[in-house]
Every structure is written in structure tokens, then in C-alpha cells.
Amino acid sequence: MNGLFSEIFISSLISGGVIAGIPLIYAGLGEAISERAGVLNVGLEGMMIGGAYGGFVAGLSFNSTWLGLICGALTGMIISLFMVVLCVRLNSNQIVVGIAITLGAEGVTALLHGAIYADTYPRVPTVRQVAIPLLSDMPILGPGLFNHHLSAYIAVIFVLFISWVLKSTGIGLSIKAAGDQPHALEAAGGDVHQTRTIAVLSTGLLAGFGGAFIVLVGAGLFVPFVTNGKGFIAIVLAMLVRGRVKWIIVAAVLFGMSLSLTTALQLVGIDIPIDLVLMLPFVLIIIVLFVFGRRSYLPAALALPYDREQH
């Protein structure tokens, strides 16, 4: 048990928590935007795994991590168009469509991977880490927090920027109005459908980027169902931060640490059944929902379709 307090365990846990948490930050941030606009994007997992596969194919084809991340983001946004058309424009049930998107994306990516890459399981190029001077030299915390791929630092910048946009700009006020009082937004000259469309497309873009990060920066290869429920965890995180977007960073890293616990324990020679460790993040989700779920912030019009003719 002394290994639990060793420098290698703590450093590995923190580093793994950041790597596992970054996709949750991107996806959770996207979900926060979507929910703020009144769209419950249950298809987040499907957008992530679609982005993971699209990013993998592009990264492998062009031998470029950044092109892979960009293509992954675009793939996620393309998948989010189903949510836009069916839910925002045609007022279909958001939960049903979201589940269909997730199941469809999981099935299609597994089928394509099996048909093209099942015999070879190729790996993408190794990414280059960017160490922040001085901070990365700190004992224990330095390597785990300040020596990562550039896209990890960009995630933090995105969170701060989106937090400012939602709180201090007209776009942010329109998004909030679309989720809380859509009829008031229309009365003020806004367009609920357009606002929700932009929000959902942004969600797909960020979720796809997060999915591509899992493959290109984290795992180094694609396997079917590689996202492993991270999209659903991100949905819960977006709800639990109660509209305070900055807290997504802390929540994502904490859950990321629970996801990376297996590797950290193996490094110090502690043998715990892997199924028990893999179950931990979802147990934490249940506990957190039980304790904080009732106090989570949910827009008044969340998951409710908006029909101009009825207002």
C-alpha cells in the first residue's frame, strides 16, 4: 500500500487523469452549450466515436495529428446535423434521436473498422508533447499537469473563452434565452431554431474533437467502441456544473483520474481486478447524481421542441 503514496503513482495518476479528462472537457463543454440552448444531446457518445474514427482515418492517411483532430471535429459536426434536422427543425424527440445517433455511429464505425483495419490494427504517429517551462519541472505535479500535447492546453483556453461568451456576450444571452424562454427570444427578434442549430453544431464539433483526441493523442489506435461511455459521462458533467462552465475542467480531470487508475496501480505493482477499476467512473457518476443531481441547473425548455406556430 506504500506504493499509493509514491511519486510515480501520484504523477502517473495525474498525467493519466489529464489525458483521460481532456476528451471529457471538450465533450462536456459542447454538451453545456447544447443544453444551455435547450437541446439535450444524448447523441454525444455517437458524435465522439464518429470523430474518433474520422480523426483516426485522417491522421493515418495524412500522417498528421492535427489534420486528424480537425477531421475528427468535422466528422462530429456532420453527425450532429442529424440532431439539427430531426430535433431542432422537425421537433422529433431529442432522447430517441440521440440514442439512435449513438447506436448508429457505433455500428457504422465498428463495421468500417472491421472491413478495413481489422487485420492490421495500424497505429497513428506518436504525438509531440509540449512542456511548459519551469512549471513542468515541478516535482510530482509538473510532469502530470504541464507536459502534454498542445490540444490539451487548448481545451482549457476553450473553456475560459466559451465561459466568457456565454456570460458576457449577446450570443451567450441568446443561447441562454433559447433554453430558458425561447418565446421571449423570438419576441425580441431572435431566432430560436438558428440559435439552437449553432449550439448543436458547436457541440458536434467539440465532441468530435474530443473523440479524435482519444485515438490520436491517448490510445494511438482505433478500436470499436473506443469512447467507452465517455460521451454519457460528459452529459452528466455538463448537468452537474450547474451552468458554471469553468468547473468542467475540474470535474473532467477528477473523472479522468478514475478512468486512469488501472494504469497507475499497475505501475506500483498493486493487483486489483480490472473490471472493478473500470466500474469505478460509473459508480462515481451514480453517487454524484444521487448527491448533487437535484441541485443541478437545467434550463426550463431543455429537451422541449420549439414550434413557432404555437407561440
**pLDDT tens digits, residue range 157-174?**
999 999 999 999 999 999
What pLDDT, on the 0 to 100 scale, is given for residue 40? 94
In percent, how much of the chain has pLDDT > 90? 59
Please report which confidence band the pLDDT of residue 268 belongs to, taking 50, 70 and 90 as the band edges.
Answer: low
pLDDT value at residue 295: 63
Residue 2, domain member (yes or no): no
CA distance 214 to 260: 13
Average pLDDT for 141-146: 85
Residue 102 lies in a domain: yes
Alpha-carbon span 222 to 71, nearest angstrom: 15
Confidence tier at 296 by pLDDT (50, 70, 90): low
Is position 71 within any domain? yes
Domain count, the chain: 1
Give mean pLDDT, residues 257-284: 72
pLDDT at 4: 57
Does the pLDDT of residue 193 top 90, yes or no?
A: yes
Helix/strand/coil (H/E/C) assignment for every residue in the chain: CHHHHCHHHHHHHHHHHHHHHHHHHHHHHHHHHHHHCCCCCCCHHHHHHHHHHHHHHHHHHHCCHHHHHHHHHHHHHHHHHHHHHHHHHCCCCHHHHHHHHHHHHHHHHHHHHHHHCCCCCCCCCCCCCEECCCHHHCCCHHHHHCEECHHHHHHHHHHHHHHHHHHHCHHHHHHHHHHHCHHHHHHCCCCHHHHHHHHHHHHHHHHHHHHHHHHHHHHCCCCCCCCCCHHHHHHHHHHHCCCCCCHHHHHHHHHHHHHCHHHHHHHCCCCCCHHHHHHHHHHHHHHHHHHHHHHCCCCCCCCCCCCHHHC
Alpha-carbon distance 285 to 93, whole Å? 25
18 phi/psi in degrees, rounded to 5: -70, -45
Yes or no: say if 83 and 223 are a contact pair by the CB < 8 Å rule.
Answer: no
Residues with Cβ within 8 Å of 224's Cβ and at least 6 positions away in sequence, in order, are 106, 109, 110, 113, 114
**Alpha-carbon distance 55 to 48, whole Å?**
10
pLDDT of 311 over the 70 cut: no
CATH code for the domain of 266: 1.10.3470
User: Mean pLDDT over residues 124-140, rounded?
Assistant: 86
Q: Alpha carbon of 222 to those of 10, 53, 78, 92: distances in Å?
A: 28, 7, 20, 32
Confirm whether 210 is domain-assigned.
Answer: yes
Report, as an integer, the average pLDDT of 260-274.
69
Most confident option among 13-22, 116-125, 210-219:
210-219
pLDDT(50) > 90 = yes
For position 58, what pLDDT does the model report? 96
| 229-258 tens-digit pLDDT | 999 999 988 988 877 899 899 889 888 888
Share of the chain above pLDDT 70, in %: 91
Q: Is 1 contained in some domain?
A: no
Q: pLDDT value at position 119?
A: 86
Q: Does pLDDT of 292 surpass 90?
A: no
Mean pLDDT over 142-147 rounds to 86
Amino acid at 109: T
> Mean of the pLDDT values across residues 29-48?
96
**Is residue 241 included in any domain, yes or no?**
yes
Question: Residue 137 is part of which domain span?
Answer: 19-300
Does any domain span residue 9? no
Domain membership flag for residue 119: yes
- Return the pLDDT at 6: 65
